[in-house]
Amino acid sequence: MRIVKGIPVSPGIAIAPAHQRRTGTAMPAQRLVPHSQIESELERFAEALEASRMELSAMADKSGLADAVGSIASSHREFLRDPTLLRQVQEAIRNGRTSAEYAVAVVFRRWIEKFRALDDEFFRQRHLDLIDLEQRVLRQLIADEERADEASTEPAILVTQDLTPSEAAALDKSRFLGFVTELGGATSHTAIIAKSLGIPAVCGLGPLAEVIPDDATLIVDGARGVVVVNPRADVLAQYRERQGRIERRFRILKRQAELPAETPDGWPVGVTANIEFPFEVDQALRNGADGIGLYRTEFLYTEGAGVPNEEAHLEAYSLALERLQGRPLVVRTFDFGADKFAAEVGIPAEPNPALGSRSLRYSFARPELFRTQLRALLRAGAQGRISVMFPMVSSVTELRRARRIMDDVAEELRREHIPYGAKIPVGAMIEIPSAAVASDLLAREADFFSIGTNDLTQYSLAVDRANERVAALFRPSNPAILRLLQTVQTEGARAQIRVTVCGEMAAEQTYTVLLLGLGIRHFSVAPAAVPEVKRVVRSITRRRAVEITEVALSLPTPEEVDAYLAEQTDQILGATWT
Ligand code: PEP
Ligand code: MG
């Protein structure tokens, strides 16, 4: 038995055999093949090349993508036709009697090193293209090897170096009971998806290959961030017992989900859900959500071929509204860039993408994408209670600019005699320190605020939310963050606009209490977390929450804040249900 500690990402306990997914970045093992198999390895290589070329062609043709992406894809395709490169791989398979993937890795890596050592900067940079190509071809070969395995329906826990948000969203939930990754942090988008889907997950475990053998039995303890490899019988029994307990308690909580979220001293609170896909509305409502407080529309991009057109947008919003049956829907416009689909949308590589052309700024840079989405949102406004919010607003100038574009799009619809919602509330996400500090100015021009504490924490503390190496520093309880939250809440209240907290923090028991004490009355959390947040609200008086928050605000370090909050909430709410 071995216990590995990582970052808790999505609560729950999953128990199943490990299923390793090779990512292709590691050197494939040297597999010698018998003479009789050499031809079939050569064929596999030829097929992988063809499939890679086809992928690149599709990328080059994909409408709506930046030209730069098209030209990179075409030049990569040419690389894959280079006769010397192809001959060397074929010779490596024949003469070395190795598997196709080993031969590809050896030859490509030789070329990569050669390019990397060149004097000419332009050619030296081409080594990056070769790394990319090697990965593409290897992915084909590995996918080919794994296809048979994918047909399996045996329950398993996915073990992988990393998982992109769209891969997490596409996971076969009936087969994969949980996942563990080497990289990633607690508020990465992959983590958010895992929570939405209710899949227990632990990320940031560091190199896993040596610790998790292929046939190992794993326990994933998503709330504690612990993975147990090949558990002893008594440990397994304990976990099964805890798993049963959590499930039973969740069932009870769900039965209480319809009860209103109101503190015992009569302070009503709104609890809405965060979704990435319209189908999640049903689960959110079953769990007692009052509506949807954050619809992350970037994920629309993963559902079809590329950037969605106006009809695809409208269909998604109509579907969500229909399922909501009159309850409110807050849609965030595209938040592309940095950790969110940057490469897929064709955002050129930047030296510092987190501070580059992303989110609202990227929408300004791509007016055709932005206007298409706004047209659909305005049209959906004629069908139900929809609000629009803009991500990463950093100044009043940006908010005004976005509003002007929205007005202009509305005018366009009016001229075309297309029905639209004329009074759609427009909100600003407060997730950049400048927006929080200047929230008094923004409050005059926004209809509501939604505080994205994931990014607000990342940008205020200069801690990458998806980097496991700095995960310990990612603490929304840092006094600096608490002061920013207090400022935003105060200014929102002064301007009499709604202030919602929609970052992951809102769903953590201790922080729910703290936010209540700050005066926050609107929480938007993962659908699975709604019943628990409502229970917390029902368990503590607003007066007590204010007292606790006042003490927390006087403490100088996040460690002291967290320890104090844990002690207080344990007394009031009992131990966490995990
Ligand atoms: C946030 O930053 O807190 C937020 C809610 O948005 P996202 O997690 O999608 O960046
Ligand atoms: Mg954000």
Q: Which of 277, 331, 362, 454 to mutate to test the pocket of ligand 1 (most atoms within 8 A of CB)?
A: 454
Query: How much distance in Å is there from the Cα of 137 to the middle of ligand 1?
Result: 34
The predicted structure's pLDDT at residue 556: 98
Mean pLDDT of 391-417: 98
Exposed/middle/buried for 421, CB within 10 Å: 0-12, 13-18, 19+? buried
At 329, which helix (H) or strand (E)?
A: strand 329-332
Report the C-alpha gap between 351 and 464 in whole angstroms.
15
Q: Name the architecture of domain 2-23+147-251.
A: 3-Layer(bba) Sandwich (3.50)
70, pLDDT greater than 80: no
Q: Ligand 2 centroid to 325 CA: how many Å?
A: 27
Please say whether the beta carbons of 329 and 320 come within 8 A. Answer: yes
Q: Which position has the higher pLDDT, 209 or 157?
A: 157
Q: CA neighbours within 13 Å on the CB side: how many for 497?
A: 23
Cα dihedral value 259, 316, 380, 441, nearest 10:
70
Compute the CA torsion angle 163, 167, 173, 177 (nearest 10 deg).
-10
* Atom 8 of ligand 1: nearest residue by CA position: 454
In this prediction, residue 209 has a pLDDT band, given cuts at 50, 70 and 90, of low
Ligand 1 pocket, residues with Cβ under 6 angstroms: 192, 294, 296, 335, 431, 452-455, 502-503
Q: What percent of the chain has pLDDT over 70?
A: 93
Which of the two residues, 397 and 32, has the higher pLDDT score? Answer: 397
Tell me: pLDDT of 143 over 90. no
Task: Quote the mean pLDDT of the chain.
Answer: 90
Give pLDDT, residue 146.
65
Position 90 scores a pLDDT of 94
At residue 402, the pLDDT reads 98
Which residues are within 5 Å of ligand 2 (an ion), measured at CB? Answer: 431, 452, 455
Q: CA-to-CA distance for 69 and 533, rounded, in angstroms?
A: 44
Query: Tokens 């098209």 identify what position?
Result: 70
Q: Which tokens belong to 490? A: 């105060």
Mutate to test the pocket of ligand 1, among 188, 299, 300, 431 (most ligand atoms within 8 A of CB): 431
Greater confidence (529 vs 21) lies with 529
Residue type, position 548, single letter? I
51-60, 100-109, 240-249, 507-516: segment of lowest average pLDDT:
51-60
| Contacts for 222 with CB less than 8 Å, ≥ 6 apart | 8, 9, 10, 11, 12, 13, 14, 178, 194, 200, 201, 202
Tokens of 91: 């010779």
pLDDT recorded at residue 147: 64
DSSP letter string, 264-281: TTS-B-EEEEEESSTTHH
Residue 339 CA: nearest ligand 1 atom is 10
pLDDT on residue 26: 57
Provide the pLDDT for residue 537: 96
Q: Name the residue of 9, 187, 195, 298 whose CB sits within 8 Å of the most ligand 1 atoms, as the mutation to test its pocket.
A: 187
Contact partners, residue 466, CB within 8 Å, separation at least 6:
183, 184, 185, 187, 188, 189, 339
| 12 Cα–ligand 1 center, Å | 22
State which ligand 1 atom lies nearest to the alpha carbon of 192: 8
Ligand 1 atom nearest residue 502's Cα: 5
Given 19, 203, 313, 502, which residue is catalytic?
A: 502
Q: What are phi and psi of 421, to 5 degrees?
A: -80, 120
Distance CA 425, CA 83 (A): 59
- Residue intervals of the chain classified under CATH 3.20.20.60 are 259-577
pLDDT at 111 exceeding the cut of 80: yes
SS3 state at 55: helix
In this structure, CATH architecture of domain 35-141:
Orthogonal Bundle (1.10)
Return the residue whose CA atom lies nearest to atom 3 of ligand 1.
452
Instruction: State the amino acid at position 534 in one-letter form.
Output: K
Name the catalytic one among 189, 203, 313, 522.
189
Return the residue whose CA atom lies nearest to atom 9 of ligand 1. Answer: 296
Arithmetic mean of pLDDT, 225-231: 94
CATH 3.40.1740.10 fits 259-577, yes or no: no
CA distance 187 to 204: 12
The winner for highest mean pLDDT among 201-210, 213-222, 391-400 is 391-400
Closest ligand, as measured to the CA of 457:
1
- Residue 294 CA: nearest ligand 1 atom is 5
Q: Is the dihedral of CA 523, 525, 527, 533 positive or negative?
A: negative
pLDDT at 493: 98
The closest alpha carbon to 267, from 538, 58, 65, belongs to 538
CA of 152 to the centre of ligand 1 (A): 35
Residue 324: is its pLDDT beyond 90? yes
Which pLDDT belongs to residue 63?
A: 45
Q: For residue 430, how far is its CA from the centre of ligand 1 (angstroms)? A: 10
Per-residue pLDDT averaged across 389-417, rounded? 98
Closest alpha carbon to 287 in 269, 274, 300, 277 = 274
Report how far ligand 1's centroid is from the alpha carbon of 499 (Å).
15
Report which protein residue has its CA nearest ligand 1's atom 4: 452
Residues of the chain with CATH 3.50.30.10: 2-23+147-251
Does 543 have pLDDT greater than 90?
Answer: yes
Residue 189 is a catalytic residue: yes
pLDDT tens for 266-312 read 999 999 999 998 989 999 999 999 999 999 998 888 666 578 899 99
Ligand nearest to the CA of 453: 1
Ligand 1: centre distance to CA 39 (Å): 51
* Residue 202 near residue 223, CB atoms below 8 Å: no
According to CATH, where is 1.10.274.10 located in the chain? 35-141
Residue 203: active-site member: no
DSSP at 28: P
Atom 1 in ligand 1: which residue has the minimum CA distance?
452
Rounded to 5 degrees, φ, ψ at 266 are 80, 30
pLDDT at 398 over 80: yes
Sheet holding 13-21, edge to edge: 2-5, 226-229, 217-221, 13-21, 156-160, 176-181, 201-203, 7-10
